[in-house]
Amino acid sequence: MKSFTAVLLAGALLALTPFAGMAGDEPSGFLQVTGPCRLEFPRDHSPHPGFRTEWWYYTGNLKSETGRHFGYQLTFFRYQLTPFGGTAEWPDPPSAWRTRQLYIAHAAVSDISAKRHLQAERVGRDALGIAGWLQYGPDVTLYHRGWSVVIFPNAHKLSAHGEDFSFTLALKPSKPPSRHGINGYSRKGSTPERASCYYSYSRMETTGTITVGGKEMPVKGVSWMDHEFSTAPLEPGIQGWDWFSIQLADKSEFMIYLLRQEGGGLNPASSGSYIDSQGFLRHLDRSYFEVSVLDSWKSKISGAVYPSRWQIKIPLLGIDVVVTSNLPDQEMRTTESTGVTYWEGSVSAKGTKGGSPIEGQGYVELTGYAGTFSALK
């Protein structure tokens, strides 16, 4: 998933739109996800205007020719400010700056070997060529002031840069897209509309270059891609979420998200998916897995205390692994776009599967530790 970070972003952005009123108000006039998503590809790689929030999320673990380890993130968020219709309040003729769509993008490189985390962000209107999307046949391009994601039917190309890093990557899916939940309909709460349409490419062979400190390095490795769209905010009482995407050495993967309740405990909608080496997906409801926190890390900047090491058990599949952050400080501080602080970072996994030793790698997202989601209530 990514992430429900886009939901979090929606809460932060609601202050920008008079339509929304109080963040957490039930949305009116937007399309709702209430049942089967009927995802088709390549059609559904494209944006879905009419739904309030949407995101395309890429993470991966890469190595240079000398073995230097990098994690990376690139996420594009689309946020619709107002539903379609109701243009009476617009000036006549409307300003060229006027738009219903806002695009936000976050990029980061975790230089594991050098123990540093580099990040950058973008925020802009879908107007005057600042940010937005284009489509030529089945090919979709998302762009934002020099950053881009290009989705072809059988390949993805990513490009982003910050003050002290850049990357250009080519990703090739090793498996078909995995539809989470019930054929892509992923519940996030107790009522039907508290849900999203959600799919992933859980294993993408990746090549390209990363530049850090003025040095360009060829890299290769494995990436993960999420695409998700929705409208409804999270249920009141959810403090944040922990999201795991783990790619095991036997070419299987699992994804788990934990919706943390205020006062402790997990929302029953917490769930996950297991994708076997052939690409077949098994839905994991809350009763299928156990996640225990083994260690933590405190940010010197935000003061937030994040879990940094976990034991994850999926007894039905014989999985018992310890997941450890590869770099403690992978905190994303998005003061120039949303003001939201969260942890998004590269992790490693080690343990057993079916009684045999196994290792893996992946990414974890942690939200709600640097402040509760009061904006979403």
Residue 84 per-residue DSSP state: S
pLDDT tens-digit series, residues 126-178? 888 889 999 999 999 999 999 999 999 999 999 999 999 999 999 999 999 99
Alpha carbon 38 to its chain's center: 21
Q: DSSP string spanning 185-246?
A: EEE-SSSTTSEEEEEEEEEEEEEEEEEETTEEEEEEEEEEEEEEEE-SPPPTTEEEEEEEEE
Q: How far apart are CA 285 and CA 47, in angstroms?
A: 28
Mean pLDDT of 214-230: 97
Give the range among 71-80, 275-284, 368-377 with minimum mean pLDDT.
368-377
Cis peptide before 176 (omega within 30 of 0): no
Q: Would you say 318 and 355 are in contact if contact means Cβ atoms under 8 Å apart?
A: yes
230 near 192, Cβ under 8 Å? Answer: no
3-state secondary structure of 375: helix
Q: For 5-376, which CATH class?
A: mainly beta
Residue 15 CB neighbours (<10 A): 12
How do residues 36-63 score in pLDDT, each as one tens digit? Answer: 899 999 999 999 999 999 999 999 999 9
Smallest Cα–Cα separation from 203: which of 9, 363, 41?
Answer: 363
Cβ 315 vs Cβ 353: under 8 Å: no
Three-state DSSP state, 302: coil
Report in angstroms the alpha-carbon separations of 148 from 58, 167, 307.
Answer: 12, 11, 32
Residue 4 has pLDDT above 70, yes or no: no
* Residue 276 CB coordination number (10 Å): 15
Q: How many Cα atoms occupy the beta-carbon half-sphere of 156 within 13 Å?
A: 30
Domain ranges within the chain, ordered by starting residue: 5-376
Looking at per-residue pLDDT, the higher value among 373 and 267 belongs to: 267
pLDDT single digits (tens) 304-339: 999 999 999 999 999 999 999 999 999 999 887 777
Average pLDDT, the chain: 89
Q: What is the pTM of this model?
A: 0.92
Whole-number Å distance between alpha carbons of 68 and 345: 16
pLDDT number for residue 91? 65
CB 330 within 8 A of CB 108: yes
Within a 10 A sphere around the Cβ of 255, how many other Cβ atoms? 24
135, two tokens: 């489509």
3-state secondary structure (DSSP) of residue 144: strand
| pLDDT computed for residue 20 by the predictor | 32
Confidence class of residue 377 from pLDDT cuts 50, 70 and 90? very low
Q: Is the dihedral of CA 78, 81, 83, 88 positive or negative?
A: negative
Hunting for tokens 């219903």 — which residue is that?
Answer: 100
Q: Please give the Cα distance from 153 to 101 (Å, whole number).
A: 25
Reading phi first (left if > 0) and then psi (alpha if -120 to 50, else beta), residue 188 is in alpha
What string of DSSP letters covers 2-21? --SHHHHHHHHHGGG-TTT-
Q: pLDDT (tens digit, 9 = 90+) per residue, 232-261?
A: 878 888 999 999 999 999 999 999 999 999
Helix, strand, coil distribution of the chain in percent, nearest 5:
5, 55, 40
pLDDT in the model for residue 35? 86
The rounded distance, in Å, linking the Cα atoms of 127 and 140 is 18
pLDDT of 245 = 98
Looking up tokens 């992946």 gives 362
Please state, in angstroms and rounded to a whole number, the distance separating the CA atoms of residues 329 and 196: 30
Give residue 284's pLDDT: 97
Give the pLDDT band of residue 86 (cuts 50, 70, 90). low
Query: CB of 41 within 8 A of CB of 177?
Result: yes
pLDDT digits (tens, 9 = 90+) for 271-285: 999 999 999 999 999
Looking at per-residue pLDDT, the higher value among 7 and 168 belongs to 168
Check pLDDT > 70 for residue 187: yes
Give mean pLDDT, residues 85-113.
Answer: 80
pLDDT of residue 97: 75
Please state, as a whole number, how many other Cβ atoms lie within 10 Å of the Cβ of residue 193.
Answer: 16
Tokens of residue 299, six digits: 């940010």
Q: Which tokens is 103 given? A: 């695009």
Task: Give the pLDDT confidence score for residue 371 in this predicted structure.
Answer: 74
Phi/psi of residue 205, each to 5°? -65, 130
